[in-house]
Amino acid sequence: MREIGHFIGGKHVAGKSGRSSNVFNPATGEVQATLALAGVEEIRAAVANAREVQPKWAATNPQRRARVFFRFVELLNKHMDELATLLSSEHGKTVEDSKGDLVRGLEVCEFVCGIPHLQKGEFTEGAGPAIDMYSMRQPVGIGAGITPFNFPAMIPMWMFAPAIACGNAFILKPSERDPSVPLRLAELMIEAGLPAGILNVVNGDKAAVDAILTDPDIGAVTFVGSTPIARYVYGTAAMNGKRAQCFGGAKNHMIIMPDADMDQAVNALMGAGYGSAGERCMAISVAVPVGEETANRLVDALTPKIESLRIGPYTDEKADMGPLVTKEAYARVNGLIDRGVEQGAKLVVDGRGFKLQGYEDGYFVGGSLFDHVTPDMDIYKTEIFGPVLSVVRAHNYEEALSLPMKHEYGNGVAIYTRDGDAARDFAARINIGMVGINVPIPVPLAYHSFGGWKASSFGDLNQHGMDSIKFWTRTKTVTARWPSGIKDGAEFVMPTMK
């Protein structure tokens, strides 16, 4: 059986803690590898490697740092099929979906190829008598990223690409459920010319996370996962003097106005609700049709499409979605469907009990659809993270708008309409971080920033875009005056530019 360790100092190393966990094939339920779980010793070894080489990397001119990412992008494209298949084998999502995971990460790597421009400071000539003033953006030093299972390629690249491009070293702690692609990305970064020790991958659980959060040499931490853990990571990092950006859960609504193109809205809901078996933080899990006629048309159109979803292992090229990632996720999603029925929602399509011939022990859940869901139900309040769509009927636009406004999460939201006034009003008033207008999954492109509001995000700066450059650098401001402009004698008043 395959044994997976860590990647420290540019090479694979075995675990030393004596602890391990299993990596499963979600389609079969079989163990396919054992994963070493790091303790404090492995984290310190990674930090020691990073601390040794980071100053030289920070002093490397930005053009040369950018060239590493130019080569890395070439290698990602070259190895796309290999990486996507490896990702799918541990996560369970379809290969084409895995390619999307990789490409969205690749786009951030393309963005940071512009680091010579992105990291520029500002300059003011003659800010005062013979005084010039300028600012510099310098790296934090050593950063760390803690990533979730659902995007084992995209989110690590969202984190380490801007951090490393800015001159930092980086410690990556990926999910224990699908660790192989992050390790392969680290190999490709070395092949692209990154010095050994700048990117270290350390696998682990809470022990590794706590070691990262309390390590005195790590200056910044970024996290994506559930909201309770995001709160914990953010609070612990702050108490230990680190800057942190932590992204949590979501409950994304899509409002369907009476004038919407119903075919377009239904197709959008199918992809956004059931793609990747709903295991996306930007998945649409709540549909809000405005008016009874709109609701009836929507449910009637969705039902046969959900019933005809093709569900299969990642090796099935025609599959629309695969299994959930673990047995625990399978039990949790089925339990939430049970609670929805118990609390009075109408289960229009029931995905429980789905079995696939030859894959009876896989973690498959069929697509499920609830109607007449109300805001007091668990299936509405909770992030299900599975192929379950809830329909909450609204009498009018204001009622529909109030639902995502009142929800504790504020990651993403969408509206489908032909009415420009309604769309503009919606975008202006909604208290959600990412908004789609006739776009079901409004994940911004790499040169804009990704991040939610409310309990979906903790910290002042978002992922990728210019926010990432600000997060991974510290501003140093220099005020300079040369001897020819200096008067004799001491000045005892506060300096001004009078």
* Contact between residue 144 and residue 173 where contact means Cβ atoms under 8 Å apart: yes
Does the annotation count 281 as an active-site position? yes
- Number of residues in the chain: 498
Catalytic residue among 109, 113, 246, 281: 281
CA 51 distance to own-chain centroid: 26
Q: How wide is the angle at C-alpha 201 spanned by C-alphas 13 and 237, nearest 5°?
A: 130
Q: Which amino acid is at 480?
A: A
Phi, psi torsion values for 20, nearest 5 degrees: -155, 165
**Alpha-carbon torsion angle 385, 389, 390, 396, nearest 10:** 120
Distance CA 93, CA 181 (A): 14
Distance CA 201, CA 197 (A): 10
Gap between the terminal Cα atoms of the chain: 74
Positions annotated as catalytic residues are 281
